[in-house]
Structure 1
Amino acid sequence: MEQPTPVLRPVTAADLWVLERQADEPDAGGVFNWSGFRDIAGTRRRFEEHRLITPDAGCLVVQVPEGVAGVVTWCRVSYGVPAWSCWNIGIQLLPEFRGRGLGGPAQQRLVAYLFDTTPVERVEAYTDVENVAEQRALERAGFTLEGTVRSAQFREGRWRTVHLYSVLRDEFKAADPRT
């Protein structure tokens, strides 16, 4: 049976439980994403202020027919000069929704959204060198492996090496089934 394509939508007050769960449970956001407990009160304040979407970052819910599967996020990354910026994206699926093939389509939808609504040329993502499932999801979403960044993420008491993936606007547009 084919998995339905996830829908991305803004976070509502009724969805804050997902962010709270991911802030409090190490596995709820993904083994490769856990870097310690987070301040859910700060997240709630940011939700009240701007619904977790600003000019420099954002968070959307990954919705499937059975419910909320997790969230996708993005933040602006600058390469020395503010005008030299791109988006860095991430995904955090709840454990009960992993392994269903949702990661690639959800991230592909996020990339389409970012290219449709902002003028950036590049979207990138980092993933732990051991996170093979995410590497495959990024490749299914149209990303290309650019390289390896040594000791870039601190998790579980040690520095971890990550792979850097990216997709450019023209590459994505050429492969986008909507065009």
Structure 2
Amino acid sequence: MTAGGVSLRPVTGEDLDLFETAFTGEEGTGAFQWFGFTSALRMRRRHAEDGLLGPDGGVLSVVAGRDTVGRVEWFRSTWGRMDTSFCWTVAIGLVPGARGRGFGTQAQRQLARYLFDHTRAQRVQAWTDVRNLAEQRALEKAGFTREGVLRAAQWRGGRWHDQVLFSILRDEEGS
């Protein structure tokens, strides 16, 4: 998938090396995505098993030109029974040098399109910290609608943080 100079593709071993290096600490993840140190072994094991592409979610690399600049992820969420009311929740992580260049907007737009094209989901959603104005703008530019604030929904950095919930529906994608 390619649009606006950005493409999504399956994760390679080299991408995993980049993710481990770039997203190891707060300086790489950014303050809104730093949840502490975690092992990279789980992601490497899953990559060996299914290429990080499964029925309940996945990870794709974000590529600008020839450079991997980050990753997008999705996982099943529900607003009722999983068999009738599931949706996808999406997330993105860009390496520091790739932020603020429109790559996130393009990647999130492409991911929503991909999920609508290849799954039966009616809804794709994302959330971000209420102070993360850059990500809120990127989601809106990607076609997502701001729905509201989830109070004290995310534990990070020793305290609870409010999140802003966004979504895009199947019939809104591409409009």
Change beyond 3 A, Cα 1:36–1:22: farther
Instruction: Evaluate the alpha carbon distance shift between residue 142 and residue 28 of structure 1 in structure 2; reply closer, same or farther with a 3 A threshold.
Output: same
Over residues 104-150 of structure 1, what are the superposed CA-to-partner deviations in whole Å (9 max), with x where a residue is unaligned?
A: 11100000000000000000000100000000000000000000000
1:19 to partner: Cα distance: 2.4
Could you tell me which residue of structure 2 aligns to residue 17 of structure 1?
Answer: 17
Quote the Cα distance in structure 2 between the aligned partners of 1:61 and 1:74.
12
Q: Report the counterpart of residue 136 of structure 2 in structure 1.
A: 135
Q: Give the structure 2 partner of residue 119 of structure 1.
A: 120
Q: Distance in 1 between matches of 2:4 and 2:122?
A: 29
Q: 2:152–2:160: 8 Å Cα contact kept in structure 1? A: yes
* Structure-2 residue corresponding to 1:26: 26
Give the drift of 1:74: 0.3
Which letter maps to 2:171?
D
TM-score normalized by the length of structure 1: 0.92
Q: 2:169: which partner in 1? A: 168
Aligned with 1:80: secondary structure?
Answer: coil
How far apart, CA to CA, are the structure 1 residues paired with 2:140 and 2:67? Answer: 25
Where do residues 49-128 of structure 1 align in structure 2 (5 Å cutoff)? 49-82=49-82, 83-128=84-129
Q: In the alignment, what sits opposite 2:150?
A: 149
Instruction: Give the match's secondary structure for 1:27.
Output: helix
Q: How many residues align?
A: 172
Q: Is the 8 A contact 1:74 1:88 kept in 2?
A: yes
Contiguous gaps of at least 5 residues in structure 1: none
Give me the whole-angstrom Cα distance separating, in 2, the residues matched to 1:50 and 1:23: 22
The amino acid of 1:63's aligned partner reads V
Offset at 1:88?
0.3
CA displacement at 1:66 relative to structure 2? 4.8
Moved over 3 A (4+): none
Quote the RMSD (CA, aligned, Å): 1.4
Is there any run of 5+ residues in structure 2 with no aligned partner, and where? none
Secondary structure of 1:86's aligned partner: strand
C-alpha contact 2:125 2:168 (8 A) present in aligned 1:
yes
2:63 counterpart of 1:35: no
